[in-house]
Chain A
Amino acid sequence: MRAAIVAIPLLALVAPLAIAGSPSDVRIDIRSDVVRKIRLHEEAFHASGDHGPQIPGAQADEVMANDLDASAVFTVTRGWNGLQPIEVQAIVGGEWNVSNGQIKLTGQVWDFPARHAILSREYKGPIADWRSVVHRFADDVVLQFTGEAGVAGTRIAFVGRQGNSGKELYVMDADGARIQPMTADKSIALSPSWAPDGSLILFTSYREGHGPRLYVTPANHGPIYLISGRPGNNTSASYSPDGREIACTLSQDGNPEIYVLDARGGSPHRLTDNRGIDTSPVWSPTGREIAFTSDRSGSPQVYVMDRDGGNVRRLTFDASYTDSPAWSPKGDQIAFVSRTSDGFEIDVCKADGSQLRHVVTGGSNENPHWSPDGRHLVFASNRDGAYGVYVTDLDDQPPRRIPTGGVVASSPAWSPRANENRAAGSADRSP
């Protein structure tokens, strides 16, 4: 039953590829409208039982609609307006029940027009965490239609400045809600990077009054630990996909080079050795390769090397200055920034450097980072004035701004999925 329903939209996605012939002939232009979105109609959640005054009601409807819309999978309508929505494929809705401070959402999806139930599942949590309850339903709807869960339940770490008191590390929901500062150092925090299980965030900071050092903080607050305070710069760290190692830049030898440390910051192993600047290492999802920035050829460019430092090859040749590589979670693409006359644009190419595409242009667009499903890139931009966090769905639509509540934001980093992150369970956790 379920397999058959999933197969229909999947077939629509795969069909153009099958027609195109052998894989090497396939050219996927992400800026075209080849991949059509699935049309959903959202009905308002209705309340049942003995609910209290805290019931989120219409707010939950908004969160749900935004989650579905932001998934890049669906186009969402709400309210029939007396018109028959002939192109709608399914209807989403559900029922709230609140008792004893706990909320239960029975989320439902029906096909249209027959209104057979496609999905019906209960989601529970403390009422204070009702947003997570809605996000889990939304992510399951994406799963139902695509075979892969959505990312509404994920979070985004970033560094932000309020006034002139330095840059602090922040975490917010992927939709911009529930912004929380993770540091209060009145120093400079930079370059957050999530552990693959979402439990920790690595970052760079000047918090102890020295040069930049690497620290780690639990993603749900807790003590901050020093990871690397070696002489010189300790910067731009990222966890390996298995979480056991950290790639970073150290200048303890007098020149910025890329090292791999163990997860506690020990056993440094140097991967690069040249007179240029080598920085911003990021792992391929297999952990077998590392993309990084180097100015060994004169200006900064993105390179790829094997995990042991061998087999170095330059990825970018089309711009005078490229930086900030980000490897897609499926391993097939690398995003990076290219310098333009008025700032930086975000480009994406295949992991072998082919099929370069300009994804985000206009203003300065920096620090791209993939969502865990690879459907989106989060980045910092000043395209509307002050720096803020934006998300592109890698299509021809303008990127959407994620509100950061008056915090001037940069260096966003997308968390792993919530089920790897808060054990999906923060919603089910008893107080």
Chain B
Amino acid sequence: MNRTIRILPLLIALVALAVLCGCASQPKKPPASPTQTSETPVPAPTTPAPAPTTAPAPSTAETATLHAEDLNPVFFDFDSATLDDKARATLDQNAKTLRAHGTAKIVIEGHCDERGTAEYNQALGERRAQAARDYLVAAGVGATRVEIISYGKERPFDNGHDESAWAKNRRAHFVIGS
């Protein structure tokens, strides 16, 4: 607590500097729902979440190892596996990153919000992962590089019980394969 207070002025200064440099358009934040377009850059205390946070992909990724943080999740509407414009834009970016990483393999996890049965959501989660995979393959990512797995509603990113949590949980999440 004391430490937080001590470094607070420093944080504020850094944030101010970032804004002045025009770097604030590179958001460093947990995966946001499609409806959340702006957030305070200071991380808020949240419940521990199993999924890693995302970070902007470095533009010089060709030579580096591919990390899960280089690939952004895509989000879906309730009971839907349809890719909207924002999801397609995210997948275009992911496809670009993957094409730059030659042979790296990935696993796309399909996830759902907590509403509905475990069984139906397992099917729906698979649909979401398939939709993301099919888009990546159409965008030139080799089909053999992409595996999918559905976790249904079993691994929420946000354990909350409201629409803001649900929106974060209806997602296709990217992890590095083996």
Contact surface of A with B, Cβ cutoff 8 Å:
167, 188, 190-191, 204, 206, 210-212, 232-233, 235-236, 249, 251, 254, 256, 277, 279-280, 293, 295, 299-300, 321, 323-324, 337, 339, 343-344, 364, 366-367, 410-411
Q: Is A235 in contact with B119, judged by CB distance below 8 angstroms?
A: yes
User: Chain B: how many interface residues by the 8 Å CB criterion?
Assistant: 20
Q: Take A167-B154, A212-B150 as given contacts and tell me if A233 and B120 are in contact as well, using a CB distance cutoff of 8 Å.
A: no
Q: Is B139 interfacial (CB-CB < 8 Å)?
A: no
Q: Is B54 an interface residue (CB 8 A)?
A: no
Given A277-B123, A366-B117, 13 new contacts (CB under 8 A): A188-B155, A190-B154, A191-B118, A191-B119, A211-B148, A232-B126, A249-B123, A251-B126, A256-B123, A256-B126, A279-B120, A279-B122, A293-B119
Question: In whole Å, how far is B141's beta carbon from the nearest beta carbon of chain A?
Answer: 18
CB–CB B150/A280 < 8 A:
no
Q: A190-B154, A233-B126 are contacts. A210–B149 as well, Cβ < 8 Å?
A: yes
For the complex, what is the distance from the CA of A300 to the CA of B122, rounded to whole Å?
A: 13
Question: Which secondary structure dominates where chain A touches chain B?
Answer: strand
Contact B120 A212 (CB under 8 A): no
In the assembled complex, which residues on chain B have CB atoms less than 8 Å from the CB atom of A323?
A: 116-117, 119-120
In Å, the complex CA distance between A344 and B116 comes to: 8
* B124 at interface, CB cutoff 8 A: yes
Q: Which residues of B contact A (CB under 8 A)?
A: 79, 115-120, 122-124, 126-127, 130, 148-152, 154-155
- Residue of B117, B127, B152, B154 near A324 (CB, 8 A) is B117
When the two chains form the complex, which single residue of A190, A232, A295, A300 contacts B118, counting CB atoms closer than 8 Å?
A190
The reply to whether A280 and B126 contact each other, CB–CB distance below 8 Å, is no
In angstroms, Cα B123 to Cα A188, docked, is 16
B122 x A235 contact (CB < 8 A):
yes
Docked complex Cα distance between A337 and B120 (Å): 12
- Asked if A188 contacts B124 (CB within 8 A), the reply is no
Q: What is the CB-to-nearest-CB distance from B157 to chain A, in angstroms, rounded to a whole number? A: 14
Q: Within the assembled complex, what's the spacing in Å between the Cα atoms of A5 and B153?
A: 52
